[in-house]
Chains A and B, each alone.
Chain A
Amino acid sequence: MRRNQVAVVGAAETTELGVIPNMSQIQLHADAALNAVADAGLKLSDIDGIATAVETPQQIAHYLGITPTWVDGTSVGGCSFMLHVRHAAAAIEAGLCKTVLITHAESGKSMIGKLPRSIPADSLQGQFEAPFGVYGPPSMFPIPVLRYMKTYGITHEQIAMVAVVQREWAAKNPRAMMKDPITVADVLNSRMIAYPFRLLQCCLVTDGGGALILTSADRARDFPKKSVYILGTGESVETPMVSQMETFNSSRAFKIAGPTAFREAGITHKDVDHLMIYDAFAHLPLYGLGDLGFMPHEETGKFIADGHTRPGGKLPLNTNGGGLSYMHSGMYGMYALQESVRQMRGIAPAQVKDAKISVCHGVGGMFAASGTIIFTNEK
């Protein structure tokens, strides 16, 4: 895909984030969509392409009163929205549609109008994982991390620092759920969830949503807010079964999505001013730093523990506070994208000064899928 041909011209989250007991999941989609459309200075009738995940595109299109000529229902977990951005950019460039709305929302905490997630007993997961006591992401996502730690010499304290540093970012963000400072000791003394991970190494469970509007970059000057350009994109999937990953020492999906986006963008790691790595659990930024090629995996724990990703550090990472401290409704990728767009617009609560390139890397399922979007504010 060619660089900077497509722009984000509207971006917004739901009016409220956190606990939203007065809205169903579908209305959270609509709230985010209406906010994004207003942000772009558009009307819903201007939208001719729609993408969403978990909820179907037909559900959201009908609820919003949109008649699309392009539809994407890619639903590969929390990074679905990175894939939607990639697919939408290709569709806009190909002339399949002009103005795409991507929505995410989840009543993850209040569970109002939330679709049930179940594992059929005759699926491969139902036969070869569920009988052994996996029960939700906390029991599955951390399964690879002990192997990763042993292979690369990563310590419990280093992984605890991921949560500590992200809380420092969250403290700067009025919309973050958790803002009080924490220490490594706080993390390592918090309630055990699934050894080796404790409560403060697991993402929040909240309600909320977000939406993006994309269009051709040559129209970008017509919009009221600063446009953010799509410089590079990548995607892949590996397996829905965490037990069947090729290796626990890295993510194959990460290693394809990330480098593909870097190649497409024509940038090196030194060019990256701002980085988002979807942190459903505290080990993900380590896998991301290694698999995206920022450094060898052996150095990832020390890099974070040494403070290079904290406010003032050389590689600002997860500057909204991340899924660990900002919010996590179940599919956090949309909020990572929102923060990258804010950083590129220069309006983030913890703004990285003069940031020109933002890398936004997402995960879906338990390392099942991945999508990477590289944004820039310079065309």
Chain B
Amino acid sequence: MAEPARARPKPTPETQHFWDGTQAGELRLQRCDACGNVYFPPRPFCPSCASRKISVFKASGKGKLYSYVINHRPAAPGFTPPYAIAVVELDEGPRMMSNIIDCPQTPEALELDMKLEVAFEKLDDKITLPMFRPAKG
């Protein structure tokens, strides 16, 4: 459970489906119906071809560690240093920032390209954050 002081996202009309998804235990991405582009962060049109015909779908939740820092100072409110701030490359293509849980926050344990899977961490009654842990198996 994250500490209450952690920065809390505030959904907008264009991102509500993403945050509804994390609460439901789904990582939701968007795909362009016209050109097939899968993209993130959410918006109601395709940033590649500008089509407004897009669909929301449940992503696999699988990805790999693209890059990271292990932050020592200054630490963000609600975080105990050192903690890794990671960018995860999802199997569907888009990348997103997250934290790596169930893993030592060390360079030795955090290997680039290691396989990851999504895990959901409830921040409060309305917000659940998408986190990632080393993939099992």
Q: Chain A residue with minimal CB distance to B8?
A: A121
Indicate whether B36 reaches chain A with its CB closer than 8 angstroms. no
Instruction: Tell yes or no: A142 within 8 A of B by CB.
Output: yes
Interface stretch (choices A55-63, A193-201, A207-215, A260-268)? A193-201
Partner of B68, one of A120, A143, A191: A143
Contact flag A243-B95 (CB < 8 Å), given A122-B10, A127-B41: yes
Q: Is B21 an interface residue (CB 8 A)?
A: no
Query: Given contacts A147-B67, A244-B95, are A126 and B41 in contact (CB under 8 A)?
Result: no
Q: Report yes or no: B15 in contact with A127, Cβ–Cβ below 8 A.
A: yes
B7 contacts which of A126, A139, A142 (Cβ < 8 Å)?
A: A126
CA of A97 to CA of B82, assembled, Å: 52
B34 within 8 A of A: no
Contact residues of A between 106 and 139, Cβ < 8 Å to B:
119-122, 124, 126-136, 138-139
A192 at the interface (CB under 8 A from B): yes
User: Across the interface, do B12 and A121 meet the contact criterion of CB distance under 8 Å?
Assistant: no
Q: Which residue of the partner chain, among B12, B67, B75, contacts A135 with CB atoms under 8 Å?
A: B75
Query: Which chain A residues lie closer than 8 Å to B104 at the CB level?
Result: none
Whether B41 and A124, one on each chain, are in contact in the complex, defined by CB atoms closer than 8 angstroms, is yes
A133–B19 alpha-carbon span in the complex (Å): 18
Interface residues of B in 10-25 (CB under 8 A from A): 10-12, 15, 19
Contact of B112 among A119, A138, A150 (CB under 8 A): A150
Q: Are B10 and A139 in contact, with the CB atoms below 8 A?
A: no
Q: Given A128-B41, A195-B72, A133–B9 Cβ distance below 8 Å?
A: no
Please state if A142 and B69 are interface contacts (CB–CB under 8 Å): yes
Please indicate the chain A residues that have their CB under 8 angstroms from the CB of B7 in the complex. 119, 121, 126, 130-131
Judged by a CB distance under 8 angstroms, whether A304 is at the interface is no
Given A131-B129, A133-B83, A146-B112, the answer on whether A195 and B69 have CB atoms closer than 8 Å is yes
List B residues 63-100 near A (Cβ within 8 Å): 66-79, 82-83, 85-87, 95-99
Closest to B67 in A: A147
Answer whether A135 and B9 are a contact pair too, CB < 8 Å, given A195-B82, A244-B95. Answer: no
Q: Is A332 part of the binding interface, using a Cβ–Cβ cutoff of 8 Å? A: no
Expressed in whole angstroms, the Cα–Cα distance for A135 and B67 within the complex equals: 17
Interface residues on A, range: 35 or more
Question: Within the assembled complex, what's the spacing in Å between the Cα atoms of A111 and B52?
Answer: 45
A133 near B85: Cβ-Cβ < 8 Å = yes
A371 an interface residue at 8 Å Cβ cutoff? no
- B39 to chain A: closest CB distance in Å? 10
How close is A69's CB to chain B, nearest CB, in angstroms?
37
Taking a contact as CB atoms under 8 Å apart, the answer to whether B69 and A131 are in contact is no
Nearest chain A CB to B85's CB is how many angstroms away? Answer: 5
CB distance from B74 to the nearest CB of A (A): 6
Q: Given A133-B79, A146-B112, does the pair A128, B67 have CB atoms closer than 8 Å?
A: no
| Contact of A243 with B70 in the complex, beta carbons under 8 Å | no
Q: Is the CB of B87 within 8 A of A243?
A: yes
Q: Would you give the shortest CB distance from B66 to chain A, in whole angstroms? A: 6
Q: Which of B101-119 contact A (CB under 8 A)?
A: 107, 112
The 3 nearest A-B residue pairs measured at CB? A135-B76, A195-B70, A127-B9
What are 19 A-B contacts with C-beta separation under 8 Å?
A120-B10, A121-B7, A122-B11, A124-B15, A124-B41, A128-B96, A128-B97, A129-B97, A130-B9, A132-B99, A133-B76, A133-B78, A135-B79, A139-B76, A143-B67, A147-B66, A242-B87, A243-B87, A248-B87
Which A residues are within 8 Å of any B CB, using their own CB? 119-122, 124, 126-136, 138-140, 142-147, 150, 191-197, 241-244, 248
